[in-house]
Amino acid sequence: MSRKLPLAEGEASRTACARALIRSGVDEKTGEVLTDAAVLERFGWCVDLVAELTSTLLAEHWNAADVNVLASGVDAGGRRLPSNAWMALRRLGWTVTPAEGVKVNDRIVRMAQEQAGRALRSVKWRADVAAGVLAAWPADPGKRTREEWDAVRDAVPGGEHLPSSVIRSRTRQVVSFEHRHGRLPSDVFELEGEPRVARMLLLAACDGQQAAIERTDDGRRALLRLKLPTRPSPQKYADWTWVACPVTLPPTIPANAVIHLPTVRIAGGKVRADLAYTHPVPKTRRSGHTVALGVDWGLNTLLSVGAARLNDDGRITALGTGAQFRASGVLAKQYRLRRIFERLHAKTDHYARLADPALDGRAGVLAEEIRRVSERRSHLNDALARGAARWAVDQAIAAGATVIYLEDLRSMEAGGMGRTHNTRLSQTVRGQIADRMRHLAAEIGIAVVTVPPRNTSKHCPHCLAPLRHRKAPDRPSVSGWKWAICPNTECGWEGDRDQGAWRRIAARGLAHQSKTAVERSTGAMVIRSVVDTMEAKAVITATPKTSRTDRSKTGPTRPSTNRPAPRRRGVPSPARPTPRAGQRPGGHAPTDRTRLPRAAHRHQGVTTINTPTTSRHRPQGAALGAGFHLHAHASPPRWAEPAPDLTVRMGSLS
């Protein structure tokens, strides 16, 4: 099977991953059909051998000197190191041998070197950040001055574009180490320690002598063949045999995709395969967009989106009023699980402080419950991220947009909004949503670009004047944050804060297209800074209101009656069981109410009208706040007798 993907004009190759299960297998030497438990056991033996070799490699080279040598990209002879981690480690002479009496082939050592090399390469970035933070350690770690912020950014490579939240989190980690040991750490290797080795097989580091995968004729399944040990500690090469494992391909893998060797993991008592595949997709563009979708982040309203168009004359107009993705129910469950998680940890910490051996059993039960709650939170966040990203990409497809602009809120840390509100803002899944949005948008050639979030909710989308934020549109004098009003009399725009934000984001992205860059580490598109001259053009031009019909005077005016519409129902009430005699049919107001409804037993709230004090007329239930309908009453005519007060002799309602 050819691994080269043919591409047409305007196409690019895209590598993605899909999950699958390995449920059974066949030992090709004996012809024995392996059950699910037997496959799990043999994969587990192989994974344990690789994990032991990986741990040995990391223990030998987990230091700053070796990591810097690997990150330099050249060997002792000045030659460039290969991109594959296992080849780079072999070029440097970093190898490992199994325990005495254990026989493994060279491909098993390759997988261990690949996993260790990836871990050593990834720690280089964290080491540079920690070294920069320690080199520019502030006088007050909790609050840096402007000069101290500039110093730490200068000390970190690429620190001018580093999110502030990364520096703060690393600072808190150093402070915690200082509280425990009474001194600052020397580097990140002392701060973190050796990483935990994941139980997995990186089959991408192998060749056909260890593993191979091919699609079957129908294209819905694939056959994975690999060598697995027949015992926990194989003593000779004869203890390794070929096992053929059929794998059902997920429907997300296209028929024309090229499948690569997967990464096999053991999780939850099952053998899972992360299938990598490459398929052609339309190319994404960094500039040249005319229709864009702006995405604004929120809390209860998780996403607020809308489309904008860049016209030929340079004007930017909004296409419609936008839409919102509300996830109040899912977020409420997420907050409930967070509170349970915190209470369980509080109980565990209390048992640890007591140090009573009799409580070890209870502590074990709490640890298992913490694991279950963590899995539920993880699955809920994953489902929320998938749903929100799919909805946003569907909105872009419906609007015909070729780019999605969203705020870069990686450096946002919630503060000053109360303990509960700050926690809710800090635990949103913005990063997962953005990653999945890039994954889904790349399949159809839509670019996803992050833009700076500065003043997206503060300035008017039509004239860039600072907005006045109020509590609600009918309460223009009460300070709040939800409703925005432009003080510019010539503009006069007002609307929901999030609706104005997506307009600003879309207009800023369209105006700064030439400043779009691609991050080398992640490949994500980003606009790093705002240019004042371009920002002045990032305004939404209001379109004049037009009527759908011609209302010019061409004849006599059609007469209209002053008779109001009848208040009775236009259709009969639905059929119901025969009621007792004298009862009105469904749909009419009951006349036999003898007491106030349950809502009247509530205390007076801020959303109810004030209790009348001057007039003799007193609306039923107004004293205790019975809701809206009992307050929407008609005043009696002047010539009529005052209505009797039904609440005089009813007693207490509390």
What residues does 281 pair with on adjacent strands?
12
Q: What is the separation of C-alpha 350 from the centre of its chain, rounded to a whole number of angstroms?
A: 33
What is the strand order of the sheet 211-215 is part of?
Answer: 33-34, 25-27, 240-248, 221-229, 211-215
| pLDDT tens-digit series, residues 550-567 | 666 667 777 766 665 555
pLDDT of residue 241: 95
- Reported confidence tier of residue 193, pLDDT bands at 50, 70, 90: confident
Q: Strand, helix or coil at 378?
A: helix
* 338: amino acid identity, one letter: R
Residue 154 has pLDDT above 50, yes or no: yes
275: left (phi over 0), alpha (psi -120 to 50) or beta: beta
Phi, then psi, of 15 in degrees rounded to 5? -105, 125
Residue 637 has pLDDT above 60, yes or no: no
* Residue 503 and residue 495 in contact, taking contact as beta carbons nearer than 8 Å: no
pLDDT of residue 295: 94
Q: Which residues of 34-60 are buried (b: 16+ CB within 10 A; e: fewer)?
A: beeeebbebbbbbbebbbebbbbbbee
With CA atoms as reference, report the closest residue to 132 among 179, 171, 176.
171
Residue 147 has pLDDT above 60, yes or no: yes
| pLDDT tens-digit series, residues 283-320 | 999 899 999 999 998 877 889 999 999 999 999 999 98
Residue 649 has pLDDT above 90, yes or no: no
pLDDT of residue 302: 86
Domains of the chain, each with CATH number or no CATH? 11-282 (no CATH), 291-327+385-535 (3.30.420.10)
Residue 106 has pLDDT above 60, yes or no: yes
The beta strand positions in 161-285, using DSSP E, are 200-202, 211-215, 221-229, 240-248, 258-259, 263-267, 270-282
* Residue 618 and residue 646 in contact, taking contact as beta carbons nearer than 8 Å: no
Residue, of 40 and 417, whose pLDDT is higher: 40
Among 71-80, 301-310, 535-544, 631-640, the range scoring the smallest mean pLDDT is 631-640
Q: Strand, helix or coil at 528?
A: coil
pLDDT of residue 428: 63
What are the residues whose beta carbons fall under 8 Å from the beta carbon of 176, sequence distance 6 or more? none
Determine the average pLDDT of the residues in 597-604: 45
Determine the average pLDDT of the residues in 228-252: 93
Q: What is the DSSP string of 110-149?
A: HHHHHHHHHHHHHHHHHHHHHHHHHHT--SSTTS--HHHH
With CA atoms as reference, report the closest residue to 96 among 67, 69, 56, 130.
56
| pLDDT tens-digit series, residues 317-330 | 999 888 999 888 88
Rounded to 5°, the CA angle 68-70-75 comes to 110
What residues does 459 pair with on adjacent strands?
466
Find the helix or strand (DSSP H, E) in which 283 lies: none
Distance, in Å, from the CA atom of 8 to the CA atom of 420, rounded to the nearest integer, reads 53
pLDDT of residue 256: 86
Q: Give the CA-trace dihedral at 53, 54, 55, 58, to 10 degrees.
A: 130
Residue, of 323 and 543, whose pLDDT is higher: 323
| pLDDT tens-digit series, residues 422-465 | 454 455 688 889 999 999 999 999 999 999 888 888 899 999 99
- Which residue has tokens 């996993």? 115
- Residue 232: Cβ within 10 Å count: 14
| pLDDT tens-digit series, residues 474-483 | 777 777 778 8
Distance, in Å, from the CA atom of 128 to the CA atom of 121, rounded to the nearest integer, reads 12
- Reported confidence tier of residue 271, pLDDT bands at 50, 70, 90: very high
Residue 347 has pLDDT above 60, yes or no: yes
Find the helix or strand (DSSP H, E) in which 191 lies: helix 188-192
What are the residues whose beta carbons fall under 8 Å from the beta carbon of 644, sequence distance 6 or more? none
Q: What is the separation of C-alpha 646 from the centre of its chain, rounded to a whole number of angstroms?
A: 55
- Reported confidence tier of residue 546, pLDDT bands at 50, 70, 90: low
What residues does 403 pair with on adjacent strands?
292, 447
Residue 227 has pLDDT above 80, yes or no: yes
Q: What is the mean pLDDT of the chain?
A: 82
Among 215-219, 565-569, 573-577, 627-631, the range scoring the smallest mean pLDDT is 627-631
Determine the average pLDDT of the residues in 606-620: 49
Phi, then psi, of 125 in degrees rounded to 5? -65, -45
pTM score, two decimals? 0.73
Task: Name the percent of the chain lying above pLDDT 70.
Answer: 80
| pLDDT tens-digit series, residues 355-390 | 888 888 899 999 999 999 999 999 998 999 999 999
Q: And the tokens for 482?
A: 């939800």
Task: Name the percent of the chain lying above pLDDT 90.
Answer: 50
pLDDT of residue 651: 41
